[in-house]
Amino acid sequence: MTGKRSFVMAVAQMGAVNLDDSRASVVARLVEMLKEGKNRGAQFVVFPELALTTFFPRYWMGDAEAQARFFEQTLPSTETSPLFDTARDLGVGFYLGYAELTPEGTPYNSAVIVRPDGSIAGKYRKIHLPGHSDHKPEAPFQHLEKKYFEVGDLGFRVHNVPLGDTEVRMGMCLCNDRRWPETYRVMALQSAEVVVLGYNTPSLNIHWNEPVHLRTTTHLISLQANAYQNGLWVAAAAKCGSEDGHHMIGSSVIVAPTGEIVARAVSEEDEVITANVDLSLGEMFREHVFNFAKHRRPEHYKLITERTGAGAPVK
């Protein structure tokens, strides 16, 4: 397949990370899955959102306590360097979600794309923070992303990531971002070919009695339609299963630009899935049905940037 622009992608789904699991034990699991991905031919591995700890926004605590227990001040650090070292040794790139505390003390829900040589190609700070910032003692658990994190300030950027002979235009996002079509569109308008993301999605909605099965249905259709409508590949890694009794959905997937799921995790545990990512497939969509230059009509899209919330009909 000389000359064909393609690479093998792995998604490394993680089972539960409990409150008392050490960073070292978590990093050891990530390293193990990185090696499994390499053994199955992967050149890039996608890990979940907030992969290094339990999904702590479900707990109410002071910001200082949260930052001391759950945030990273440097990446790589002593605890996370085995992952970076193994990736460089194996020549495998990866995406990792983590809680970032900047030198200035600003907290973000962040992710990085790391090249196969171990260097960081780009960073993303989560823009669509879900949940709330107030304490809801009556709820079965909290969803305090709006308390613990600031809204990301880096936008949705696209990075060139060299994977073997192929330089891949890769964007990234995190969890709730995947349900917002603007996320993918902004990256597609920068010619992204692949979007990678991690997520922690509680099986219960604390705001209304949403049927539990919808959590998986809506996760999948959001990834499928947005992959298709932008002519790009999407790879999404869950942290899932029961973290100290709090259940989160699995169903990590790799989705083709056809909108089809081409690989899907079947467990709610650590599990590696892979697919061959043929970048020319996306080109067929971007050249024809979704040839943006030919078919888009931004003069009719103005409300998307002029309004934040929903308002009255335009006369």
Q: Looking at the annotation, which residues are catalytic? A: 49, 126, 175
Q: For a copy of itself, which is the closer residue by CB, 28 or 284?
A: 284
3-state secondary structure of 111: strand
Outline where DSSP puts E strands in 42-130.
Answer: 44-46, 93-101, 107-114, 120-125
Handedness of CA 305, 159, 179, 231 (dihedral sign): positive
Pick the stretch among 50-58, 74-82, 92-100, 179-187 that binds a copy of itself (CB under 8 A): 179-187
Stretch that binds a copy of itself, among 57-65, 103-111, 180-188, 244-252 (CB under 8 A): 180-188
Angle between the 23-39 and 81-90 helix axes, to the nearest 10 degrees? 10
Of 42, 112, 158, 163, the one binding a copy of itself (CB under 8 A) is 158
Residue 1 or 310 having the CB closest to a copy of itself: 310
Residue listed under structure tokens 């079509």 = 181
208 binds a copy of itself (CB under 8 A): yes
Which segment (20-28, 45-53, 73-81, 157-165) binds a copy of itself by CB under 8 A? 157-165
Q: Which of 38, 115, 147, 185 binds a copy of itself (CB under 8 A)?
A: 185
Taking residue 123's Cβ as centre, other Cβ atoms within 10 Å add up to 17
Binding mask 269-288 for a copy of itself (x = CB under 8 A): ---------------x-xxx
Query: What is the H or E stretch that residue 164 is in?
Result: none
Among 73, 119, 212, 301, interactor with a copy of itself by CB under 8 A = 301
- Residue 28 beta carbon to a copy of itself: minimum distance, rounded to whole angstroms: 35
For residue 61, give the nearest of 162, 141, 154, 163 by alpha carbon.
141
Binding mask 87-126 for a copy of itself (x = CB under 8 A): ----------------------------------------
Compute φ and ψ for 149, nearest 5 degrees: -125, 150
Q: Which of 53, 200, 222, 251 binds a copy of itself (CB under 8 A)?
A: 222
User: Is residue 212 within the footprint of a copy of itself (CB under 8 A)?
Assistant: no
Q: Does residue 68 touch a copy of itself according to CB under 8 A?
A: no
* Alpha carbon separation from 304 to 174, 222, 226, 276 (Å, rounded): 21, 19, 17, 35
- For residue 237, give the DSSP letter: E
Q: Cα-flanking dihedrals φ and ψ of residue 14, to 5°?
A: -115, 140
The amino acid at 132:
H
Binding segment (CB under 8 A) for a copy of itself, from list 10-18, 75-83, 225-233, 271-279: 225-233
29 vs 286, beta carbon nearer a copy of itself: 286
Rounded-to-integer distance, Cα 133 and Cα 143, Å: 8
Tokens 């169903």 belong to which residue?
A: 251
Q: Which stretch binds a copy of itself (CB under 8 A): 9-17, 53-61, 244-252, 255-263?
A: 255-263
The CB-of-153 to a copy of itself minimum distance in angstroms stands at: 9
Question: For residue 272, what are its two tokens?
Answer: 């590696």
Q: Which residues from 126-145 bind a copy of itself, rule CB under 8 A?
A: 127-130
Residues 179 and 225: their CA atoms lie apart, in Å, by 10
**Does the footprint of a copy of itself cover residue 4 (CB under 8 A)?**
no
Helix (H, G, I), strand (E, B) or coil at 196: strand
- Indicate which single residue of 157, 166, 204, 247 sits in contact with a copy of itself (rule: CB under 8 A): 157
